[in-house]
Structure 1
Amino acid sequence: MSSVNFLKKLLDGMPVEWKALGEVAKYSGTRIDSNQVNKRNYVGVDNLLPNRAGKTDSSYVPTEGRHIEYRSGDVLIGNIRPYLKKIWLSDQAGGTNGDVLVIRPNDPSLSSGYLHQILTDEKFFAYNMQHAKGAKMPRGDKAKILEYSIPIPCPDNPKKSLAIQAEIVRILDAFTELTTELTTELTARKKQYNHYRDQLLSFEDGEVEWKTLGDVIKKWYSGGTPKAGVPEYYEGGDIPWLRTQEVKFLDIESTEVKITQAALDSSAAKWIPANCVIVAISGATAGRSAINKMPLTTNQHCGCLEIDSKKALYRYVFHWVSFNYENIKALGQGARGDLNSSIIKSFKLPLPYANDPEKSLAEQARIVAILDKFDALTNSTSEGLPREIELRQKQYEHYRDLLLSFPDPEAVGA
């Protein structure tokens, strides 16, 4: 069903009037003292939850000064970059600061839930950014925000208008609630995963023999970066080229950038075989790991371990390296915390039943099977809960488009 037909059925011939936000809502003008706010009801931009109702749990509450009051049903908007996209429908009362705008419907034909859905639209974010003031830390223009046009269905019949708005909110909230439930489930499964990983990868003295990563590899690979700005190195390229920002404790099925054969021939980049354990060795991503599921090339900030399958399973090594992310990262040197091949290859690896290769590989496979199951459930973008959450979010956005695609006024926000 097209968005026009969907809305026609919902509106049932009722008109829609576009009104400036300031005609149907206002900013909270009530000030409250600091003794009226606490960790459960104080909202700052750092703990303003994005796009859903819920309790706050601030780690910081000002101990002096007067704050802006918000009430249940108010819509709270982050008013300083990079928080301009954070919007919250409050289900409690409390206090906030000047970095958060408190908007309160004051017209009988406008519901809080409907206003919240309207203001979480990308159109409002784009409008707010367009009129934001300030170079380094732009703030929303409070006057311009009140000029933003919003659609009010059946404005002359508040009861009918609120019924239409309620149906729109009901449908969209159902998708939001499902996404929230899946996110909660994901959090619980991640805790379960971490618990099992801690158990499976924690060994007592004598249970394993400690080797180094260098002891179980066939080869160490590094990479290089073709000269930027040379069209023949990048345009029309079909050779996968991995950058460290893509190393995220996941299997790598593709790369964002591809290079040409000319780029490969003119740089230190080289082909890496599939199923290597890749470790970011430089900068902010240092210590992160991944597995390449196809042959690829990398930049010089990636170190690649080709594992000897007679000594260790590459997925066992990957889980161990991922488990020790913080420990590996702490070994970084210099101002940027860079790692190198010596540091990585010297890192200790526990091998169960090291004197019996067949038994060792079988035990590694048992550990890998359990961790892979949790890893797919909690981290995979092609299956498991992350994929399900992504699909539900897309479904929510689809219905948002259907339910909120009112005919635009001649000049939105003019």
Structure 2
Amino acid sequence: MSRLDELIAELCPDGVEYVRLAECCDIEDNKRKPVKSSLRIPGDTPYYGANNIQDYVEGYTHYGQYVLIAEDGSASLENYSVQYVDGFFWANNHVHVIKGRKDLDTKFLYYYLTSFNFIPFLTGGTRAKLNKGNMEEIPIPIPPLPVQQEIVRILDNFTELTAELTAELTARRKQYEYYRDLLLTFGDEVEWKTLGEIGKLIRGSGLLKSDFVEEGFPCIHYGQIHTYYGTSATETISFVSVDKSKKLKKAKKGDVLIAGVSENVEDVCKPLAWLGGDICISGDMFAFRHNQNTKYITYLLQTTDFSRYKEKFAHGAKVTRLRQDKLLAYKIPVPPLEEQEHIVAILDRFDALCNDLTSGIPAEIEARQKQYEYYRDKLLSFKEVTA
């Protein structure tokens, strides 16, 4: 029997009492103060909005341990925005500011609310809102403080482990980018050619939303290149009819798929090594057909050097578009294919460690997150005591 099981058996064997949030929490919405971005004085205090920190300002509205619940504007209704704050902070009027009273640990309250279904308590249509009156009616379990504190300790450990893995992933990605750029740096010992000298760009065909069907011939479009962004992809989630596919431009196995348009410069020219069969491509995408190693070209188009080059020719106000002539003028080192394969093998291992959702650190983080959510929901499910 775990320490938590022992505490529950000893202190609340028949269940716990649920009370209205208004009866167990202090609500400090009256201290909130929205400030337009142009009027904020820069400082060290986090300025909180509905979903996260919006800015850092001088001064504060609150100090201590609090839970911030989105009043409106939550990024998700199913996973409603709940934040925990400890220290000085500034709250705008898009969050409710609450804390537990003497019999309710505020961190326990936070963990409980992250697993709570807020939807029945929301009002409004397109912009759902949790008004104060409805929030006050939310039922909160009040197990004895030792039980609350043990649950907080367990969930804090899960959270800390995930934070450590996330920090390690950030470090590994920086390390990966450094070695990627280093491995792809050459001098006069190899031949240099423009992309136009080793291949050609094939622009996809214009498609409408109505052209996509549930089943048919595989097709990949601009949005999906971001879903699959990395070194390779061998599957698709979109289709067009077989008859439609006969009229469309296609990428072939070994092409590098390139995004031709985006709302920001960074996403233009994002490359994807296509290792599947023939696939239709939309008008916002290009297939680069070449005579080199596909993944080698893909890695080159992810380097810091290419990012700097891209910023000089990508153009557009609201939407940034690829200039084909400038892309094809980009010069790359072309070592022998055997050396390209060796470089790709090294970078593939780095890429899997940093980006693969089925292996490496991202997969471990996802597994830990699922484990955390499972135990959080299990730990915070209490039998209600009956009179």
TM-score, structure 2 normalization: 0.80
Query: Which among 339, 362, 369 is matched to residue 322 of structure 2?
Result: 339
Query: Which among 94, 113, 118 is matched to residue 119 of structure 1?
Result: 113
- 1:364 partnered with 2:340: yes
**Other-structure match for 1:247:** 225
CA positional deviation for 1:181: 1.0
Change (3 A) 1:407 1:220: farther
**Other-structure match for 2:19:** 19
Change (3 A) 1:222 1:102: same
Give me the whole-angstrom Cα distance separating, in 1, the residues matched to 2:208 and 2:32.
58
Change (3 A) 1:381 1:17: same
**Other-structure match for 1:291:** 273
Give me the whole-angstrom Cα distance separating, in 2, the residues matched to 1:91 and 1:382.
35
Can you list the C-alpha shifts for 1:251-295, whole angstroms capped at 9, x where unaligned?
A: 223222223313313x4243x222321110023342211122312
**Other-structure match for 2:256:** 277
Give the counterpart letter for 2:21 in structure 1: L
Query: Which among 294, 299, 302 is matched to residue 322 of structure 1?
Result: 302
Query: Which among 44, 48, 52 is matched to residue 44 of structure 1?
Result: 48
Give me the whole-angstrom Cα distance separating, in 2, the residues matched to 1:174 and 1:240.
44
**Other-structure match for 1:400:** 376
Give me the whole-angstrom Cα distance separating, in 2, the residues matched to 1:289 and 1:122.
40
Give me the whole-angstrom Cα distance separating, in 2, the residues matched to 1:277 and 1:10.
59
- 1:69 partnered with 2:48: no
Deviates more, 1:383-392 or 1:172-181: 172-181
Is this contact kept in 1: 2:261–2:321, CA < 8 A? yes
Partner-residue secondary structure (3-state), 1:252: coil
CA positional deviation for 1:30: 7.8
CA positional deviation for 1:184: 0.6
Is this contact kept in 1: 2:15–2:384, CA < 8 A? no
Give me the whole-angstrom Cα distance separating, in 2, the residues matched to 1:46 and 1:95.
12
Give the counterpart letter for 1:165 in structure 2: Q
- 1:145 partnered with 2:126: no
Change (3 A) 1:246 1:329: farther
Percent identical: 32
Give unmatched runs, 5+ long, in structure 1.
1-6, 50-57, 154-160, 353-359, 410-414
CA positional deviation for 1:319: 0.8
Is this contact kept in 2: 1:80–1:138, CA < 8 A? yes
Give me the whole-angstrom Cα distance separating, in 2, the residues matched to 1:281 and 1:46.
34
Is this contact kept in 2: 1:45–1:83, CA < 8 A? no
Q: What is the 5 A alignment of 1:344-355?
A: 344-352=327-335
- 1:185 partnered with 2:168: yes
**Other-structure match for 1:103:** 98
Give the counterpart letter for 2:204 in structure 1: G
Give me the whole-angstrom Cα distance separating, in 2, the residues matched to 1:408 and 1:330.
64
**Other-structure match for 1:52:** none
Give me the whole-angstrom Cα distance separating, in 2, the residues matched to 1:293 and 1:398.
36
CA RMSD of aligned residues (A): 3.3
Is this contact kept in 1: 2:71–2:129, CA < 8 A? yes
Give me the whole-angstrom Cα distance separating, in 1, the residues matched to 2:170 and 2:202.
35
Is this contact kept in 1: 2:44–2:56, CA < 8 A? no
Partner-residue secondary structure (3-state), 1:294: coil
Give the counterpart letter for 1:162 in structure 2: L
TM-score, structure 1 normalization: 0.76
Is this contact kept in 2: 1:74–1:102, CA < 8 A? yes
Give me the whole-angstrom Cα distance separating, in 2, the residues matched to 1:183 and 1:376.
15
Give me the whole-angstrom Cα distance separating, in 2, the residues matched to 1:337 and 1:283.
5
Give me the whole-angstrom Cα distance separating, in 2, the residues matched to 1:333 and 1:390.
37
Partner-residue secondary structure (3-state), 2:210: coil
